Chain A
Amino acid sequence: MIRNMQLVYLAIPLVCLAASLVAGLFGPRIGRAGAHSVTILGVALAFVLSVVVFLDVHAGNRFNGSIYTWALSGGVPFEIGFLIDELSALMMVVVTFVSLMVHIYTIGYMHDDPGYQRFFSYISLFTFSMLMLVMSNNFLQLFFGWEAVGLVSYLLIGFWFKKESAIAANLKAFVVNRVGDFGFLLGIAAVLYVFGTLDYAAVFASAPDAVALQFRFLGGDMTWMTAICLLLFVGAMGKSAQVPLHVWLPDSMEGPTPISALIHAATMVTAGIFMVARMSPLFELSETALTVVMTIGAITAFFMALIGMVQNDIKRVVAYSTLSQLGYMTVALGASAYAAGIFHLGTHAFFKALLFLAAGSVIIALHHQQDMRKMGGLGRVMPITFLTAWIGTIALIGLPPFSGFFSKDAIIEAVHASTLPSAGLAWLALTAGTFVTSFYSFRLLFMTFHGKPRMDKETLRHAKESPWVVTVPLVLLAIPSMIAGALYVEPALFGDLFGDSLFVLPEHDTLARIGAAYEGKHGIELVLSMILHGALQPPVILTLLGAVTAWFLYIKRPDLPDTLVRRFSAIHGMLMRKYGFDEFYERVFAGGARRIGHAFWQTGDARLIDGLMVNGTARSVGWISGIVRHIQSGYVYTYAFAMILGLVVLLTWMLWS
């Protein structure tokens, strides 16, 4: 049995890779149907096997082992290997499930696209990379997967490579992510420096002994543990789009919508969250790092949500929502509520993928119209999309009993219970954020599906519900969006869904503090008392308030928003400019690098080195030879004179000495 399971582990990523290679290399030969069949078959198999692994892990069979030695240098082995435990098994199920849904959906969404086979090849390659990332048992392979998902993200954002905005966005995404990876790689180097190995288990085992190691930094003392955690977290900030490395994610919406759902909402962007949770044995040992994590998360959660309120592009609203929700997850990590963070990662994967795919369904119905100001009243035309979008929205804003309620409420409660210095403000940001979340979500729903249609007649006449390949994934994602929260809240927060894969110090155990309030309650009783408790708390009340506000502004008094925009034009302008991050980065970093590059090239290389040293040498050789040439005149008397002169000098010198 054990031997067979190892083959299963290996098969899960490899079927995706194989399918990707087939679709990519033989795309023209196997045709469209061939490409989607082989990739869907591959990822479906990966999903089924992931479920098998999940059940097997919960039956007590974990695995930690190497597949092959990638390299050996300086006595340090660098391995490729798997760590299969509760955390990775759960991630595998979530990744392969969402990926499968997106694969099926793509048949409908990319139906007319000339790059059909290429697209399927990419998303299968993505699934492979993401699986390698979550299944890794060491930092090297983690980095492999980390960069590989970045590559596929780059390829897919720029999938429509003729579009100038798309290829600007993908370059930006890759380079900004590389800024994060720069920190991440240094973090890995620091891990090797401190622990002498990159193997998770070995590092985690010796982490408590390394906690006191310090070094001098900027005139103060810093523990290596804090440095390692902060550097690794810089990587997470890139991949999980936390302020100030968030700028690439909204632009990534230039890619096809299935990608926004799979990569830029459900899976890749949560890699940072997963990584920090996986590193919980390290982060737990540095309260400084946890405080930074919580602060960054809170800033992202609140301020990115605010931008979502003013966006008119339907995908951008969902994108800013994703940024904000990633902030919620990050705060959970900071509060040591890793389980709540991963739980929210899971529920968010379902409802956010659902919302993106629903948005995509609207976009194809309107022939690639993404501006919500030209939508409205689509509820009657597209009932399934409409209904599932509502389900996704309720799950997102966190109304009980849908899934988002349980995971988000747990995060807010955990922050409340946290004793870190930033916990108070973080709690405020997250709680206020619920109002904003609810507002932008309902604004989207109302502007898209309710009210009077604002598109032209022709478009409206052609608008119809999407085909089954699109709606079936919507329905299949709507189900977990509704029930996954209630179903898994107990094992996730207070039970054994994560087993020993997450590590929390007793003094940081915020979830245990929450759990104390529900002492002795289990199953449906626990769920009900959580709902009862939550319903009277500020988050739910603010959520309802946000919904009512959106209703008032976009259904009851649709004339009001414009007035408000004029009245508060300064704030609105700042939100529209996204706080000016993009301009600042473009001018200072991109422009600055180019200016410095030019200066180095023109002044350093051309003027100083070439001009002064190289050509200067050549010139001075020429100049000297010009003088020396006069001596070699060819006249005998000149030579005779020189000889006599030399003789005189020589004789004088000999006489004197």
Chain B
Amino acid sequence: MDGHLLSMLIWLPILGGVTVLATGPDTNAPVARKLSLGISVAAVLLSLPLYTGFDKTTAAMQFIEHASWVRTFNIYYSLGVDGISMPLILLTTALTPIVVIAGWEVIQEKVAQYMAAFLVMEGLMIGVFSAVDAVLFYVFWEGMLIPMFIIIGIWGGPNRIYATIKFFLYTLLGSLLMLVAFLYLYHQSGSFSILEYHTLPLDINTQILLFIAFFAAFAVKVPMFPVHTWLPDAHVEAPTGGSVILAAILLKMGAYGFLRFSLPILPDASHALAGFMITLSLIAVVYIALVALVQEDMKKLIAYSSIAHMGFVTLGFFIFSAQGIEGGLIQMISHGFISGALFLCVGVLYDRVHSRQISSYGGVANTMPVFASFMMLFAMANSGLPGTSGFVGEFLVILAAFQVNAWYAVLAGTTLIFGAAYTLWMYKRVIFGDVANKEVEKLQDVSTREVVFLALLAILVLGMGVWPYPFLEVMHVSVENLVVQATASKL
């Protein structure tokens, strides 16, 4: 059994999702909900051995599975994790039950389909993080877009069609170029094994072309400036659960791609284009933060905040130091918790008032004190307050950036000011103040169900902030190895 842990993690939610789908019409909704919760919790439990059984002393792939898939083209069903992908799988399994609980009463139509979509997506996302074969990776990568389109397209807001098409066009264009890159690499090496690509010699021009192809796929997903504009639209139209998964995990796939493909396979191109990548990252941190400041829609504000925070991730990666990469990875996980939590907070308000506009609120603390406390914590975490997970990644990346060029750190450090300004200004207008209108006056504080998912995320945010050591510990060897790969020239 142990030998197939990753497969079980991928297929349990997918097959589970199909089973949930089989419960059929909404008359069976309670069954669908309970079944989904059971499956997602089972996936959490199943993923724990990944951490406890993880060998921290090796950078090699672990929990390997290897089976022939398409022999003619040397395609394998090949799975494995290292210290970079393992934490991301745990992030995925941790957030899915939260999304299931968050949709519990909120989703009343097509419940089974909704839950099934998330479960299938969970399995596919785990597949993305554990695939070591390029074709398998590509299949999971593209496959997981389908449930996402469905989630936004069916349970989304009024402008959902525009949002999904924009999302689709953006990501498809990028993915196709990535596929071309894979085909080229196969042509060169006769293999689809990602690990083999790591040692494949490539001249600088080829590397740069491949880098651009990968960049198209990954930068759109992260998203990096200037290919970020699909994200605010997608978030605004997505239902709460969709936003949570989108921000918490889907964006991480792009960043993960840079670590898995661009840095180790194309070290020389990565170095040659590092200045470009760092510039885009810093634009994300500064430019996007200023755009976030003036948003009037809470979801858009958090979406822009996500882009700014993801700027730290790519900044950390293209510094090529262990501290920067680990900072970026920690930022990915932390951002998963915090942005997820903030979208859930907006969802809690939206379910009651049916508005995402900041101006529809004011003085929520008067009627929802418990909710206000939770949102305070997440707002502070989003502002990077020490003691919350939001601080750790930004701190490490700023420290690492300073070692390379103090001006990078200066620009990145402005997040201390802007991050606090846009997050707390929104908080002030929504939560503080006297009761603004009748809707706010009627608000009911959070229910037990809502407290459950908010408290779970609060524990994660605080736990990681107070003691990030265990999160970093598993990354060290893999990241050190990656730094070696990324700094060793292939020319």
Contacts and interface: CB of A to CB of B under 8 A. Distances in A.
A605 B169 contact: no
A613 B428 CA distance: 36
Contacts of B60: none
A605 B229 CA distance: 7
B401 to A, nearest CB: 8
A284 interface: no
A551 B421 CA distance: 45
A81 to B, nearest CB: 14
Interface in B446-491: 466-469, 472-473, 476
A2 interface: no
A70 B469 contact: yes
Nearest to A613: B226
A171 B432 CA distance: 11
Contacts of B472: 71-73
A158 B363 CA distance: 12
A175 B420 contact: yes
Interface stretch (A88-96, A187-195, A642-650): A187-195
B400 A74 contact: yes
Dominant secondary structure at the A interface: helix
B469 A614 contact: no
Interface centre among B322, B386, B402, B418 (most CB of A within 10 A): B386
Interface stretch (B96-104, B191-199, B407-415): B407-415
A158 B385 contact: no
Contacts of B410: 186
A174 B420 CA distance: 8
Interface centre among B166, B395, B396, B476 (most CB of A within 10 A): B395
A521 interface: no
Given A151-B380, A185-B416, A72 B473 contact: yes
Nearest to B418: A593
Interface in A593-611: 593-594, 596-598, 600-601, 604-605, 609-610
Contacts of B473: 72
A594 B432 contact: no
Interface centre among A179, A598, A600 (most CB of B within 10 A): A600
Contact of B326 (A74, A189, A193): A74
B365 interface: yes
B403 interface: yes
B392 A71 contact: yes
Nearest to B434: A162
Contact of A167 (B323, B400, B428): B428
B15 interface: no
Interface in A181-240: 181-182, 185-186, 188-190, 192-193
B216 to A, nearest CB: 13
A168 B429 CA distance: 10
B327 A73 contact: yes
A490 interface: no
A192 B387 CA distance: 20
Given A143-B386, A179-B417, A609 B229 contact: yes
A174 B384 CA distance: 13
Interface in A532-555: none
B23 interface: no
B402 A171 contact: no
A148 B387 CA distance: 8
Interface stretch (B120-128, B247-255, B289-297): B289-297
Contacts of A182: 413-414, 416-417
A175 B424 contact: yes
Interface residues of B, number: 62
Contacts of A192: 399, 402-403
Nearest to A215: B406
A162 to B, nearest CB: 5
A72 B475 CA distance: 11
A192 B400 CA distance: 9
B366 interface: yes
Dominant secondary structure at the B interface: helix
Contacts of A618: 169
B158 interface: no
A394 to B, nearest CB: 40
B176 to A, nearest CB: 14
A110 B420 CA distance: 29
B112 interface: no
A601 B294 contact: yes
Interface string B418-437: 10110011001001111000
Contacts of A594: 293-294
A182 B384 CA distance: 12
Contacts of B324: 74
B322 A171 contact: no
B322 A162 contact: no
Contacts of A154: 424
B416 A73 contact: no
Nearest to A141: B386
B421 A175 contact: yes
B469 A72 contact: yes
Contacts of B321: 74
B184 interface: no
B402 A147 contact: no
B287 interface: yes
B398 interface: yes
Contacts of B376: 155
B322 A593 contact: no
A189 B395 CA distance: 9
Contacts of A189: 398-399, 401-402, 406, 409, 413
Given A68-B467, A71-B472, A596-B290, A161 B433 contact: yes
Contacts of A167: 428, 432-433
Nearest to B421: A175
Nearest to B467: A70
Contacts of A147: 385-387, 391
Contacts of B398: 185-186, 189
A234 to B, nearest CB: 11
A598 B327 CA distance: 31
Nearest to A615: B166
Contacts of A190: 402, 406
Interface in A138-177: 143-144, 147-148, 151, 154-155, 158, 161-162, 164, 167-168, 171, 174-175
Contacts of B466: 70
A75 interface: yes
Contacts of B396: 71, 73-74
Contact of A70 (B363, B432, B433, B468): B468
A171 B427 CA distance: 10
Given A74-B321, A151-B380, A601 B400 contact: no
A147 B365 CA distance: 23
A167 B362 CA distance: 12
A563 interface: no
A73 B322 contact: yes
Contacts of B391: 147
B416 A181 contact: yes
B413 A185 contact: yes
Contact of B166 (A151, A175, A614): A614
12 contacts: A71-B472, A73-B323, A74-B324, A75-B322, A162-B434, A164-B433, A164-B434, A186-B398, A189-B399, A600-B290, A609-B229, A614-B229
Q: List the 10 shortest-distance A-B pairs measured between CB atoms, nearest first.
A: A74-B323, A189-B402, A597-B294, A597-B290, A167-B432, A74-B322, A597-B293, A144-B386, A161-B432, A601-B291
Given A70-B466, A148-B385, A171-B425, 6 more contacts: A68-B467, A73-B323, A147-B386, A154-B424, A188-B399, A601-B295
Interface of A: 68-76, 143-144, 147-148, 151, 154-155, 158, 161-162, 164, 167-168, 171, 174-175, 178-179, 181-182, 185-186, 188-190, 192-193, 593-594, 596-598, 600-601, 604-605, 609-610, 613-614, 617-618
Interface of B: 166, 169-170, 226, 229-230, 287, 290-295, 321-324, 326-327, 363, 365-366, 376, 380, 383, 385-387, 391-392, 395-396, 398-403, 406, 409-410, 413-414, 416-418, 420-421, 424-425, 428, 431-434, 466-469, 472-473, 476
